[in-house]
Amino acid sequence: MKILRILLVTLTIFFTQISFADKDKYEAGEKLYKTNCAVCHGSSSGMDLKKRIAPPIAAVRMHYINTFPDEDSFVQAISGWVENQDESKSMMRGAIRKFNIMPPISIPKEDAMKIAAYIYGGNLDSPKGLKKHVEEEHSKAVAPAVANNDIKSNTQGITVSISLSDKLKSQASSTDLVFIYAKAMSGPPMPLAVVKKQVKDLPIEIVLNDEMAMMPNLKLSGFSEIKVGARISKSGQPIARNGDLFSEKASIKVGDKVSIEIDTVVVK
């Protein structure tokens, strides 16, 4: 019994230390967020869009974390947006239409990354009614059957063969990341499915299907026309940048087989 009590005390101290460590990890970002962002993105205005001047920060996390599930890519995406507000790279184009594009914020890159890390893993305030609002907005963006989860998961998918053209092989490293994705031709901008490989894995054949859905109500089987692409990221980030290598094919349907040869350099 004494040994059990000692074990329980030790575990309590251990997990308490982890909790404090996590809190400390995001504390600097939380302070910077409250100073630079909370006045617009805070929850004090609730979900009355007539009173808000920007989306609540919890909604920002909800929109980005599905596409950027790991902290590093999430931080790069958010801090990159703070550094350069490019509407074509936003995961919240509806918010831009409602509130206009966010004005530039003059803060150091290091501070922007700390804020982004807090948004990713910190304890964010969330206005009442946010979940209902998000569900309603997504139901407008996709086919009603998909929004209501009436379409069951379909393991049949799109078979994609990916290779790198000989002319671009000298521009790619064996450890460069390759993002293979499917998006709706018309609909939400976020990918319906994504697979991450490395250049050394090419050539490769994969199947994109409903089991890879990034959101439960956004599945390949819910869209009649899909575009499929592959991009070698020179920066290691999911967002396309100058110098990346890519190729994309449009008007693909579930059940199709498609071959993609990466043969183009991204130039913006």
Same domain, 137 and 102: yes
Residue range of the domain that includes 105: 2-141
Same domain, 48 and 121: yes
Task: Report helix, strand or coil for 113.
Answer: helix
Query: Could you tell me if 158 and 254 are in contact, meaning their C-beta atoms sit under 8 angstroms apart?
Result: yes
**pTM attached to this predicted model:** 0.48
Where does residue 148 rank: exposed (0-12), middle (13-18), buried (19+ CB within 10 A)?
A: exposed
Helix axes 109-121, 2-36, angle to 10 degrees: 130
Same domain, 16 and 134: yes
Q: Is residue 150 part of a domain?
A: no
Same domain, 166 and 202: yes
Query: Could you tell me if 215 and 135 are in contact, meaning their C-beta atoms sit under 8 angstroms apart?
Result: no
Q: Which of 61, 77, 38 is nearest to 134 (CA)?
A: 61
Same domain, 39 and 134: yes
| Single residue among 111, 141, 171 that ends a domain in this structure | 141
Q: Tell me how many degrees the CA angle 76-135-126 measures, rounded to the nearest 5.
A: 60
Same domain, 110 and 168: no
Task: Report helix, strand or coil for 243.
Answer: coil
CA distance 13 to 68: 33
| Single residue among 109, 141, 173 that ends a domain in this structure | 141
Q: Is residue 53 part of a domain?
A: yes
Task: Report helix, strand or coil for 221.
Answer: helix
How many other C-beta atoms can be found within 10 angstroms of the C-beta atom of residue 48? 9
Same domain, 22 and 133: yes
- Exposure b/e, 220-242, CB count within 10 A at least 16 = b: bbbbeebbbbbbbbbeebbbbee
What are the φ and ψ backbone dihedral angles of 130, each rounded to 5 degrees? -65, -45
Cis peptide before 69 (omega within 30 of 0): no
Q: Is residue 147 part of a domain?
A: no
Q: Which amino acid is at 151?
A: I
Same domain, 113 and 16: yes
Q: Is residue 119 part of a domain?
A: yes
CA distance 97 to 94: 5
46-90 tens-digit pLDDT:
777 777 888 888 888 887 876 777 788 888 888 888 888 877 777
**198 Cβ contact list (under 8 Å, min separation 6):** 174, 175, 176, 177, 178
Same domain, 87 and 171: no
Same domain, 8 and 133: yes
| Single residue among 92, 116, 141 that ends a domain in this structure | 141
Locate all alpha helices (DSSP H) within the chain, ordered by sequence. Answer: 2-36, 38-41, 57-65, 71-83, 93-99, 109-121, 130-141, 144-147
Same domain, 187 and 221: yes
Q: Which of 99, 94, 4, 24 is nearest to 54 (CA)?
A: 99
The pLDDT, as a whole number, for residue 152 is 42
Same domain, 171 and 127: no
Q: What is the pLDDT along the chain (268 residues), one digit of tens a residue?
A: 555 454 444 444 444 443 444 456 788 989 999 888 888 888 776 777 777 888 888 888 887 876 777 788 888 888 888 888 877 777 777 787 777 888 777 889 999 999 999 998 888 877 777 767 666 665 554 444 333 333 344 457 899 999 999 999 999 999 999 999 999 888 777 788 888 899 999 999 999 988 877 666 678 888 889 999 999 998 887 778 889 999 999 999 999 999 999 999 998 7
Q: Is residue 162 part of a domain?
A: yes
The pLDDT, as a whole number, for residue 5 is 53
Q: How many domains in the chain?
A: 2
The pLDDT, as a whole number, for residue 82 is 84
